[in-house]
């Protein structure tokens, strides 16, 4: 690594010289470095794909006033709320075409990309660097990390392997690759500028790698590589005031990516640990009032009844200083670490309570993921997410919220729309749905039925929606 870095800086001093004046040893070193990058490109480019997405715009639907003022619901309903004023449906507009990049991780056609690249897609096409096109299916997606896993038919595809993002050091060389709009590979080089970037509002769980390797439009979902050609991140976004590249690219680290992808492959969805606390960052005055040396740590402002935190004896006012022996830098980092832990796993917290240092062990509950990868749900054209304990308490009932409805699907034709809350399924008897696990269990009983009846709660009343299955 040191030799390569020295060669890069050395090459800068050669720019003002004619190549006739360059020492042969320096040219040999530069040629070797160039050949190494060429070999890396030859390996990585065939495994990097372009993703074309067709999005069928939904017709305007009948709307009214949203009783929920929670930001959680607004991101589903949009500015108009849950029940905006209804209008007559208009003629269906033409499909919109969007796209991004991705990369193959197995020889039998599994492709990693960003969730925002394929979200709301009615059709997804994966285009290889050779120009071959394949229609892809979504095996699973996770909105909280902005990751998705696709599958294309076939075998013997070139693929990339993951490196260890935890071992990255500031200043390491990084290579960003994309295949935007099917126009061919786009490869740029830079360095790792920083790690652990959070609180950007891009995803619920953020731990971004920052690089100055140019990440251009259409490169979202492509791989960020180390000099060994291993995937250390998934290119996701840029920070820019102009909309163009300004030297700050953001990538999801490979460790987080592998965690999500392995869960989707193993169980069809992502399951997360849940402690059941409301966290508050420590500002300067609060840290000083609590007699803390700095603003690191996270203040517990509330503990949910019956949660893992409550059972472990955590209390409002406790300050979490360490998680599993590692310092807690801030609220976002702690939330991400807990969320990426498996339900049922035990965590050790070092806390400060009334100027006393205590150690508390807690067994995490399950906060099942954002997107339930259930074949029946995919068949009818909806995706659902769990309500958190806080959100369920705020609105006064449990259920799962519809996070997307595929245009022209059976669910769309039945009148279901994004943001509605499913509280039950009508089979031979009413089956209450409090979370995704309840929904999956209830669906087993109706999988062979001609019709599926979903019970949807709206304000102070509920409504039955009948979906034709066959």
Which residue in 119, 74, 123, 69 sits closest to 95, CA to CA?
123
Distance CA(59)–CA(422), nearest Å, equals: 22
Phi, psi of 207 (to 5 degrees): -155, 50
Are the C-beta atoms of residues 184 and 146 closer than 8 Å to each other? no
CB atoms near residue 132 (< 10 Å)? 12
Distance CA(383)–CA(370), nearest Å, equals: 9
Distance CA(197)–CA(250), nearest Å, equals: 8
CA–CA–CA angle 248, 333, 245 (5° rounding): 10
Catalytic residues: 116, 146, 220
Show the tokens assigned to 90.
Answer: 């208009």
Are the C-beta atoms of residues 368 and 387 closer than 8 Å to each other? no
CB atoms near residue 335 (< 10 Å)? 18
Which residue in 150, 172, 157, 145 sits closest to 335, CA to CA?
145
Tokens 């402002």 -> residue: 301
Torsional class of 182: left (φ above 0), alpha (ψ -120 to 50), beta (otherwise):
left
CB atoms near residue 45 (< 10 Å)? 16
Which residue in 145, 163, 377 sits closest to 271, CA to CA?
145
Provide the 8-state DSSP code for 268. Answer: S
């Amino acid at each position: 690594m040191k030799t390569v870095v020295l060669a890069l800086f050395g090459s800068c001093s050669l720019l003002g010289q004619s190549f006739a004046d360059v020492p042969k040893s320096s040219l040999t070193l530069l040629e070797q470095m160039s050949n190494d990058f060429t070999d890396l490109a030859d390996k990585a480019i065939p495994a990097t794909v372009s993703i074309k997405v067709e999005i069928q715009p939904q017709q305007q639907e009948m709307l009214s006033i949203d009783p929920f003022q929670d930001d959680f619901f607004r991101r589903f309903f949009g500015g108009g709320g849950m029940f905006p004023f209804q209008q007559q449906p208009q003629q269906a507009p033409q499909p919109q075409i969007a796209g991004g990049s991705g990369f193959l991780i197995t020889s039998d056609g599994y492709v990693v990309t960003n969730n925002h690249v394929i979200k709301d897609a009615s059709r997804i096409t994966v285009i290889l660097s050779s120009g071959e096109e394949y229609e892809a299916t979504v095996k699973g997606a996770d909105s909280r990390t902005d990751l998705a896993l696709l599958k294309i038919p076939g075998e013997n595809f070139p693929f990339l392997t993951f490196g260890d993002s935890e071992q990255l050091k500031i200043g390491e060389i990084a290579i960003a690759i994309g295949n935007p709009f099917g126009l061919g590979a786009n490869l740029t080089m830079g360095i790792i500028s920083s790690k652990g970037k959070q609180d950007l509002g891009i995803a619920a769980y953020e731990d971004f790698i920052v690089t100055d390797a140019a990440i251009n439009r259409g490169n979202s979902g492509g791989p960020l590589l180390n000099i060994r050609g291993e995937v250390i991140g998934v290119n996701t976004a840029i920070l820019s005031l102009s909309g163009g590249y300004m030297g700050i690219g953001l990538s999801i680290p490979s460790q987080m990516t592998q965690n999500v992808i392995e869960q989707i492959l193993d169980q069809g969805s992502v399951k997360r640990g849940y402690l059941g606390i409301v966290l508050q960052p420590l500002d300067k005055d609060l840290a000083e009032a609590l007699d803390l040396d700095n603003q690191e740590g996270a203040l517990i402002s509330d503990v949910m009844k019956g949660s893992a935190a409550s059972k472990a004896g955590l209390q409002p006012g406790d300050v979490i200083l360490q998680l599993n022996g590692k310092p807690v830098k801030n609220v976002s980092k702690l939330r991400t670490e807990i969320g990426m832990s498996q339900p049922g796993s035990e965590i050790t917290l070092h806390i400060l309570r009334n100027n006393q240092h205590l150690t508390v062990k807690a067994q995490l509950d399950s906060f099942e993921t954002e997107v339930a990868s259930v074949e029946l749900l995919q068949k009818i054209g909806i995706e659902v997410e769990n309500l958190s304990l806080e959100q369920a308490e705020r609105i006064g009932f449990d259920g799962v919220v519809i996070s997307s409805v595929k245009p022209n699907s059976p669910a769309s034709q039945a009148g279901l729309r994004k943001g509605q809350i499913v509280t039950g399924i009508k089979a031979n008897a009413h089956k209450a749905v409090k979370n995704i696990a309840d929904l999956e269990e209830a669906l087993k009983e109706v999988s062979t039925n001609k019709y599926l009846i979903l019970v949807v709660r709206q304000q102070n009343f509920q409504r039955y929606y009948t979906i034709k299955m066959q």
